[in-house]
A and B are shown apart, each in its own frame.
Chain A
Amino acid sequence: MSKPRIGIFDFACCEGCQLQIVNLEEDLLGLLGLVEPVVWREAMAETSDAFDIAIVEGSVVREEDAARLREIREQARVLIALGACATLGGVNKIRNPMDHGEVTRAVYGTHADDPHLAAGPARSVAEVVKVDYRVEGCPIDGSELVRLVQDLLTGRTPRVPHHPVCVECKLRENVCRYELGEVCLGPLTRAGCGARCPSNGFWCFGCRGLVDDANIEAARTVMAQYGKSEADLEDLLRLFNQESEVGHGRHA
């Protein structure tokens, strides 16, 4: 059987998730034994339209990018959304609720109306085309992508955690950030990262998106219990989860 051909594509983002593919180091060589990259602008000069699996990072902010993404979707048998900008819209969505005229003037001043700077609201990849699989996180953990590709090649069903980061954080015996007087999105955020940020002494800011049926009422109770306001929770939700029920509140 010939190796599946992979295309790696980027839209509006920091390209940090592609970097995690390079950061696989020797394991990247192993991955290259399983698949054949045919498009990867950041790393390769060659290009091709013939790919089976499309790996897409970044958010869509312009119609020309949406059109390019639709073309990629048509070519690909399987499309993987890579990282928070692709799966959620990521930090790119922070500006969505803002007045766009003010946003462009803040950055581009008197050039705000130049046509090449026109940009619509940031959208996740799934808001433009059908996404088959998602690798969450900002940035992704490269090993999650490798596991997904291995699952796809061997016909296994990829496993997605349905519990919050709190579960992994407790297993690592971290002191709860709420006990330290902070606000943390661990109770609401989808696990799978090994509670990496709380384990490094920082609160969870929700880069993997909210867990299915996130219990926002319970989060409100925890907030109240620790003397925190809903506005404190919103501040964090408006980083990666702009459109969550609570994060949306202030601008609805």
Chain B
Amino acid sequence: MRYQLGIVGGGPAGMMAALIGDRFGIKTILIDDNPALGGQLIKQTHKFFGSKDHYCGYRGFQIGSILREEIAKSKVEVITSATVTGIYPGFILGLHHKERYQEVGCDAVIVATGAKEKFLIFENNDLPGVYGAGAVQTLMNVYGVFPGRRALMIGSGNIGLIVTYQLLQAGVEVPFLVEILPEIGGWFVHAAKIARAGTRILTSHTIISALGEEEVEGAVIAKVDDQFHPVSGSEVTIDVDLICLAVGLSPLSDLLWQVGCRMEFIPELGGYLAWHNERMETTVPGLYVAGDVAGIEEATTAMLEGKVAAISAVSHLLGPSDELSAMQREIIRELDDLRSGDFSQVVSRGLRRLYDRP
């Protein structure tokens, strides 16, 4: 089977890219390793901010459903429960699907594989009950499984703050959130909500160890000094059966390494990612990136990057046009606006560093 456009990853970036491809009559295939499209949107219960164009006021999982329905109405071909294991010369995508290996040929490819959770070093960090914050979200918000009685959240970025609130909504006690930096990382509005609900946010604190033999039965937390070293004597043992790590994400860039994209290490964007410009073009002609794999941000920017990448792919396939470049410039402007706030300073600095590398 041959397609004009192959999209790897059916989250916000990939779904949006597929819809743009389809709008221009491009024969598009969208591949995802989960049983259903939606990526991480399916577990996001918080309402989005921004403008009407960016689904403001909708909850993440509702945005996922809207996009999924639009894709169902389109001509986009969808394969779920399929893992792309490699991208080979001529843009042949190797697929592991239903216990079989298959190949799909494409003329252009968008990689929108998202991100994976970062881990943290502490004693007993391998005990069952130490979970990524995203994993806990999946467990409780998608499958309705009660994740634990009392939780310790580690990290006060927006994910840590939002998932703490979601744990409280699900009936889990969250007595403490520890943050190693002296300041809360995420938005004040989210922090205020959990503080009102009774969670103590301890800045300049970290986890020392998880306690338990077979699974988490407690944790030791401590204050840190300005060099981030634990202050001896400040250790406190707390009673928890769940430890959630919300210490950041890194791009899932394995396919981009494999395909031979030039990779850059940009800590502000989460680690190694494929070099790309603001049109989401990588160093491999005809191959584009979008969403968290192109630098860790959030779903609104991922959707816009999906559009930008798709327009680049359409120009590559059908030839450039004034209409396409005007449309793309407009979306790039929207992205710039979204990134102009204080909270996007780090991302913006990372992107500048990336774009500045020739």
> Is B a genuine binding partner of A?
no
- B residues whose Cβ falls under 8 Å from a Cβ of A: none
